[in-house]
Amino acid sequence: MKHQISVIERIFSVFKSRSIKERIKISYVIIILLMILPTVITISSFVVQMVRYDLIITNVSKADRLNQTVKVEISDEIWDIVAGNKKFDEGRQYDIIDGINASLEDIMKTTDERENRQMLEVAGRAVDTLKRYVDRLGEQMARHSPVSENEKSLDEIRGVVALISDILQDFTVRVIESAAITNEHHKRITLALTIIQILTVFFVTIFAVMTQRSVTASINNPIKKLEELSTRIAEGDFAARVKLPQITELDGLTDNLNIMAVKIQALIEENIREQHNLQKSEMKALQAQITPHFLYNTFDTIVWLSEEKKTDQVIDITRAFSSFFRISLNKGKDYLTIREEFEHVGSYLTIQKIRYRDILDYEIEYEGEMAECQILKLLLQPLVENALYHGIKHKRGRGRISVKGWRENKRLCFSVQDNGIGMTEEKLAYIVEQISGSADLEDLDNIYGLYNVNKRLGLYYDTETKLEITSRYRQGTTVSFSIPEVGSNV
């Protein structure tokens, strides 16, 4: 008994280890089999019984017709011959006897019971005896034997016919008795099948209830744990974990939630680092604009212009200098209009144009419809500064910087192009790799301006917003980017 219980427990343990889909599928298959099997057995039993009844009724009908043939036809045919109404050669006696043998063989084929078959075999031997008596009668009539001798043969034939008739009648009775026995057997089988069907319905009901409870528990318990895990994660407990429920449909979800908690924690830490780098980057950007070198050179230029009595240029550079720092600070705001951003670039280039009048030309152009759209501040000026110090200053002759803005596919596009010294493919690949990585600002040599702009684009917009750099050595460099278009009220 204990062994049977342990086997059942192992079966249920295997059943529980399957996926919910497989468990439901197996449950359906078991229930369907349990419901179909008794029905199939019942139908098969009825078919078998119907076939047996059909054979019994058929055999009874054949035996009855054969009995009539034996009792009436053969006797009448022999009597007509003996009475002189018909010649022996003209009689149908042999055809009737052959028909009787054929009928016996036909009944024999559909008779299974041994005693009934023996009765038919006895009847067959009696028919053979009948045929010998008919043959002898034919010989007597051929010799013109006395009538009395022919009548004696007729009596013998009638005796054999009576014997065959009795055997057939007994056969019919036994077949009918067999039908009664079959009927009783059928009743017992029907009762047994009825009990089996009742028990099947009972067990199917129990099995369905147990399966429903098992599947419900398999779903509810893991989902409850997953809900608790998601609540803990929402509350900031990223160290929370849940064991796999060993349910195929929920294992992946559980594993993903556990991984999500790890990644959220990593992203938070990465975001802290990014914010730290961003603050350092913005400070670097501001410091780059107020470096003593830039201030000293600008003030020296103002002093030199004053000494040269170039009042208009002093006014222009002073206004540009004031506008440059006013827009750089922007009252602490992160965004400004595109008009202000280009004004900021114009102020910077005005100052540098006065300083580098022999080597620098520039142009600024953007679509008027985008003037009041919002943009993150200090995106274009670092690119212009990079073009001046790393492109134009290393070129012989005059250089030119072109700053443009336009709208395309619902995005605001910008480019800073110079005809400076440009870069080789190797140097360009190195710079793209440096500004796209996560290196510390201290390790970026003199390209932190590009790194700063690229990093801030990714942080404030989306991962697809980044700098695109193209360059050819001794021909120049183009740096471009695009941002989603937003209204002026952002």
Pair (192, 315) in one structural domain:
no
* Residue 229 host element (H or E): helix 147-234
State residue 43's pLDDT score. Answer: 78
Q: Which residue has better confidence, 477 or 281? A: 477
70 & 185 share domain: yes
| 78, 173: one domain | yes
Confirm if 97 and 134 have CB atoms less than 8 A apart.
yes
54 in a structural domain: yes
Q: Positive or negative CA dihedral for 122, 125, 127, 129?
A: negative
**What pLDDT band is residue 221 in, cutting at 50, 70 and 90?**
confident
Structural domain contains residue 219: no
11 and 132 in a single domain? The answer is yes
Percent of the chain with pLDDT over 70: 85
Which of 163, 192, 214 corresponds to the end of one domain?
214
| Torsion on CA atoms 323, 329, 333, 338, rounded to nearest 10 | 30
Q: What is the mean pLDDT of residues 32-48?
A: 76
- Pair 189, 297 in one domain: no
Residues 205 and 339 in one domain: no
* Domain CATH number, residue 322: 3.30.565.10
**Same-domain check for residues 202 and 300:** no
β-bridge pairing 411-418 and 399-408: antiparallel
Over the chain, what is the mean pLDDT? 79
> Any idea what DSSP says for residue 477?
E
- Give yes or no for residue 17 having a pLDDT over 60: no
pLDDT-based confidence at residue 285 (cuts at 50, 70, 90): low
What does the pLDDT read at residue 367? 94
- pLDDT score at 291: 57
Q: For residue range 126-139, list pLDDT tens digits in order.
A: 888 888 888 888 88
- Whether 281 is covered by a domain: the verdict is no
Q: Of 194, 214, 234, which residue sits at a domain end?
A: 214
User: Is residue 374 included in any domain, yes or no?
Assistant: yes
pLDDT at residue 250 in the model: 67
> What total of structural domains would you count in the chain?
2
The first and second tokens of residue 446, run together, are 């003199």
CATH number of the domain bearing residue 128: 1.20.120.1730
Please give the structure tokens belonging to residue 258: 């556990």
Region of 171 (left: φ > 0; alpha: ψ -120 to 50; beta: rest) is: alpha
Q: How far apart are the C-alpha atoms of 399 and 464, rounded to whole Å?
A: 32
Q: Tell me whether residue 33 is in a domain.
A: yes
Query: Looking at residue 421, what is its pLDDT?
Result: 92
pLDDT at 40 over 50: yes
Mean of the pLDDT values across residues 284-312? 69
Judge if 473 and 387 occupy the same domain: yes
Which residue, 214, 246, 271, sits at the end of a domain? 214
Q: Give the domain extent around 98.
A: 2-214
Among 168, 158, 162, which residue's Cα sits nearest to residue 124? 168
Q: What is the pLDDT of residues 407-458, one digit of tens each?
A: 998 899 999 999 999 999 999 999 998 888 755 555 566 787 888 888 888 8
- Both tokens assigned to 155: 């009596």
Q: In this structure, are 192 and 337 located in the same domain?
A: no
Both 59 and 149 in one domain: the answer is yes
Dihedral sign computed on CA atoms, order 451, 453, 457, 459:
positive
Q: Which of 430, 478, 481, 422 is nearest to 455 (CA)?
A: 481
What tens digit of pLDDT does each residue of 55-106 get? 778 877 877 888 887 878 877 888 887 777 888 888 887 888 888 888 888 8
Does residue 237 fall inside a structural domain?
no
Q: What is the C-alpha to C-alpha distance for residues 386 and 392, in angstroms, rounded to an integer?
A: 9
Tell whether 181 is covered by a domain: yes
Name the burial class of residue 118, with classes exposed (0-12), middle (13-18) and buried (19+) by CB atoms within 10 angstroms of its CB: exposed
CA distance 455 to 441: 11
Instruction: Provide the pLDDT for residue 387.
Output: 92
Position 160 pLDDT exceeds 80:
yes
The average pLDDT across 119-123 equals: 82
**Predicted confidence (pLDDT) at residue 27 exceeds the cutoff of 90:** no
Q: Are residues 209 and 304 in the same domain?
A: no
Query: What confidence tens digit (pLDDT) does each residue in 246-277 have?
Result: 666 666 677 777 777 777 777 777 777 766 66
Both 329 and 448 in a single domain? yes
Q: Is there a domain that residue 7 lies in?
A: yes
Q: What is the rounded CA–CA span in Å between residue 286 and residue 280?
A: 10
Residue 4: its pLDDT value, please? 43
